[in-house]
Amino acid sequence: MLQSLRKPLALFLLVLSGQVLTLLGAAGIEALTAEHLALLTAVAALIVWAWDFTVQRPVRHGMGRLQRRIRQLSLPRSTPGTPQAHAAGDSTGVDTLLSARQKRLAAYTRRLRGELERLKAIYRQSHDAVLIFEPTDGRLVDCNPRAEEYLRMDRSQLLGISLITLHDEDEAYLRGLIDDVMDQPLGRSIRINYRAGDGRIIPAETSVSRIQLDTGNLLLCIARDISDREDAAQRIQHLAYHDTLTNLPNRTLLTDRVSRALVRARRTGQIGALLFLDLDKFKRINDSLGHSVGDQLLKELANRLRHALREEDTVARLGGDEFVVLLEGLGQHQERAVEKAMEIAGKLRGLFADEYRLDGHELYVTASIGLVTFPHDGDTVDTLLRHADTAMYHAKGAGRDGTRVFERRMDEVATSRLRIENELRNGLRDHQFELYLQPVLGIRDGHILGAEVLLRWRHPTRGMIAPTEFLPYIENCALMLKLDDWVLLESCQLLAGIQRDPEVAAPDCLAVNISHQQFHQPEFVQRVQQILSDTGADPKRLQFEITETILIKDVKDSIDRMNALKQMGIRFAIDDFGTGYSSLADLRRLPIDTLKIDRSFVRDLGTDPNDAAIVRAILSMARHIGLKVIAEGVETREQLMFLRDAECTYYQGYLGRPPMSCATFREELRFSADLYALADMPPRVEGHSSQRMPLRK
């Protein structure tokens, strides 16, 4: 109300003061008393206050508001004393302020448009699919080109499509996801499947979040195709659980499946079984035809096994030529379950018996199978596999190509085998092994040509053990190479010692058996050279006995190694000749000096005409190509007489000399005599069967 009275009150005071002065005039003013002057002074002060209140103060307030507005617009303030300051209240100043504001607004608009264009470019060119949905009904309202490519649909097909239709997920799950995301500001990252226009299901890593706009909220999905990543992960997982050669389950996956089968067997009472299959003499195929043929054979076997079994059965490859078959649901009666498993084992062995044609080769293989049932024969995977392996080895020991069911006593044999292997290691460490030698004699004069080095084990509690008892325990372990190297070193030391003894006539040759593993060691030739250098043994008196199978693996490499050793002076003999696959052409290629006729042909010379014919053929062939021949295992005088008549020159066996210690052999060399000279013996009478002569002690 006071505001509305300002202007009328001001006018009234101005008029009143003017009329008072006019009425008084000059004379009247002179006549005024002090009281009158005081009253007039008060009236004047009232007039000044009224002017300030009604005119000047509103103007000041208006200018203050204008200056604050200028500061809000971030425009330069007027400097006192400048023309701008003097014109701040007029229309020109206001126009200037408005123009500056418009320019700033235009610049801001340009920046916003630039940012919008950049966002549009990112949106259009993003490698991720961007999809924007209306959350209330799940309709797609916008998407980028990558989404069209990703979902195999163009934009016109996508716009308006339902989120439920695009996703290969449960509808309730999707609706719950939308509600969850729209209720929180941060969003979520999930793995979700999309259904493309061509029907493919595409896995995607998707970021789902809420977009807040003035007009309402939207649902934003940014999806990245992870098909390649998941395919790679699946391949890695497959490799982790499957054999790379045959694509069969490996030991890891087999262990998992057997563990689960054990649980089911205990719960249901249904008996299961494991068949442990090992190919017989598979190593010969690898050695003779190469690993590529061996690998092809394993793949073909895997395919046959896979197709011969039920879908619910498992066939796995443990490695090498070992396979395991898992059978379930064989019934609740132990005997009947074993019968069923044996029937399946017989069927599988029949698969192995069929011919295999690989790289122009016709191959026939057999398998030895060990069978265990569960939970009867073991309650853990390791126990079952160990027992099945034990049964398989018993099948091999029984002649191969058969199936053996695990028995508890077999476990005792396996435990004994482990104990012996440990004792063998201790024996090598504690110098319990000794060299024995069996002389090679001339048939006509009984003269000692040389000797074959044999191995004996002087066990601390069991006494002297022959190699036939302990070699099977070390042939498949690393101990074999250590023992082979020890034998070669000790043999060369023995030969060097005999050479230095002036009272002993050094033998023409000392024969050392070289195993397959030892011969094919990369540094074997260098190792022989080092041993000869260290011991001083004469290489011309050293003979290496090798088997035919050693040469078959890699003929060229074998010949190269033999030639390198021959250059040192070492001679070679083919041991157990006639039991392998050597032909006359092979013999002519090999740098060998001697053939040793296997004892299996010598044993029945007096009774088996076939063996007699084979021995005569070997002797005739050797004479034609200039090779020495030594007959092994001669135990009767009749055998010796046959060999003399067939013009065999040397023999080895208990008839002449049994294996003896190194000290005894040196004494034999010192006092060698014609103990079994046959030069003056009458011709052998056909059909006469002589008795076996006493063995020399």
Q: Which of 29-38, 326-335, 350-359, 454-463 has the least mean pLDDT?
A: 29-38
Q: Report the percentage of the chain scoring pLDDT > 70.
A: 79
Q: Which residue in 508, 518, 510, 504 sits closest to 452, CA to CA?
A: 510
For residues 437 and 597, what is the distance between their CA atoms, to the nearest angstrom? 18
Q: Report the percentage of the chain scoring pLDDT > 90.
A: 39
For residues 88 and 101, what is the distance between their CA atoms, to the nearest angstrom? 16
On the question of a cis peptide bond just before residue 591, with omega within 30 degrees of 0, the verdict is no
Q: Tokens 């190269």 appear where?
A: 560
Q: Is the distance from CB of 363 to CB of 382 less than 8 angstroms? A: no
For residues 49 and 43, what is the distance between their CA atoms, to the nearest angstrom? 10
Judge whether residue 45 has pLDDT over 60: no
Q: Which of 39-53, 145-159, 667-681 has the least mean pLDDT?
A: 39-53
pLDDT score, position 104: 80
For residues 547 and 283, what is the distance between their CA atoms, to the nearest angstrom? 15
Work out the burial of residue 451: count CB atoms within 10 Å of its CB; fewer than 13 is exposed, 13-18 middle, 19 or more buried.
buried
pLDDT score, position 471: 80
Work out the burial of residue 283: count CB atoms within 10 Å of its CB; fewer than 13 is exposed, 13-18 middle, 19 or more buried.
middle
Query: Tens digit of pLDDT for each residue in 347-393?
Result: 998 888 788 888 778 888 889 999 999 999 999 999 999 999 999 98
- Give the residue ranges of DSSP H helices in 321-360: 334-353
Judge whether residue 86 has pLDDT over 70: no
Alpha carbon 369 to its chain centroid, in Å, reads 27
For residues 139 and 160, what is the distance between their CA atoms, to the nearest angstrom? 5
User: 3-class DSSP state for residue 73?
Assistant: coil
Judge whether residue 690 has pLDDT over 70: no
pLDDT score, position 695: 32
pTM of full prediction above 0.75: no
Query: Tens digit of pLDDT for each residue in 140-149?
Result: 999 999 889 8
For residues 319 and 583, what is the distance between their CA atoms, to the nearest angstrom? 33
- Give the residue ranges of DSSP H helices in 135-289: 145-151, 155-158, 163-166, 171-182, 227-241, 251-268, 282-289
pLDDT score, position 172: 85
For residues 185 and 411, what is the distance between their CA atoms, to the nearest angstrom? 67
pLDDT score, position 50: 57
pLDDT score, position 417: 75
- Give the residue ranges of DSSP H helices in 269-310: 282-289, 291-308
Judge whether residue 5 has pLDDT over 50: no
Listed as own residue / partner, the contacts of 562-570 with beta carbons closer than 8 Å and 24 or more positions apart are: 562/590, 562/591, 562/592, 563/591, 564/525, 565/525, 565/528, 566/591, 568/528, 568/529, 568/532, 568/539, 569/538, 569/539, 569/540, 569/542, 570/528, 570/539, 570/540, 570/542, 570/543, 570/544
Residue 419 confidence class, pLDDT cut points 50, 70, 90: confident
Q: Is the distance from CB of 550 to CB of 574 less than 8 angstroms? A: no
Judge whether residue 262 has pLDDT over 60: yes
Among left, alpha and beta (phi > 0; psi -120 to 50; other), residue 290 is: left
What are 358's two structure tokens? 């690989």
Judge whether residue 687 has pLDDT over 50: no
Residue 105 confidence class, pLDDT cut points 50, 70, 90: confident
Residue 688 confidence class, pLDDT cut points 50, 70, 90: very low
Gyration radius of the chain over CA positions: 54
User: How far separated are the first and last CA of the chain, in Å rounded?
Assistant: 151
* Rounded average pLDDT over 556-571: 93
Query: Tens digit of pLDDT for each residue in 445-501?
Result: 889 999 999 999 999 998 988 888 888 777 656 688 899 999 999 999 999 999 999
pLDDT score, position 9: 47
Q: Is the distance from CB of 445 to CB of 495 less than 8 angstroms? A: no
Which range has highest mean pLDDT (82-91, 123-132, 204-213, 430-439)? 430-439
Listed as own residue / partner, the contacts of 652-657 with beta carbons closer than 8 Å and 24 or more positions apart are: 652/438, 652/439, 652/440, 652/441, 652/452, 652/596, 653/599, 653/602, 654/695, 654/696, 655/693, 655/695, 656/439, 656/441, 656/446, 656/696, 657/438, 657/439, 657/441, 657/448, 657/696
User: 3-class DSSP state for residue 374?
Assistant: strand
What are 334's two structure tokens? 């132990």
* Residues linked to residue 661 through DSSP beta bridges, in sequence order: 436
Judge whether residue 96 has pLDDT over 90: no
Q: Which residue in 41, 50, 62, 38 sits closest to 13, CA to CA?
A: 50
Edge-to-edge strand list for the sheet holding 314-319: 314-319, 322-327, 272-279, 367-374, 403-405
- Give 435 or 283, the one with higher predicted confidence: 435
Q: Which of 16-25, 337-346, 405-414, 616-625 has the least mean pLDDT?
A: 16-25
For residues 244 and 241, what is the distance between their CA atoms, to the nearest angstrom? 9
Query: What DSSP state is assigned to residue 242?
Result: B
Residue 556 confidence class, pLDDT cut points 50, 70, 90: confident
What are 659's two structure tokens? 């294996």
* Pairing mode, strands 542-546 and 571-577: parallel
Residue 511 confidence class, pLDDT cut points 50, 70, 90: very high
* Rounded average pLDDT over 572-594: 76
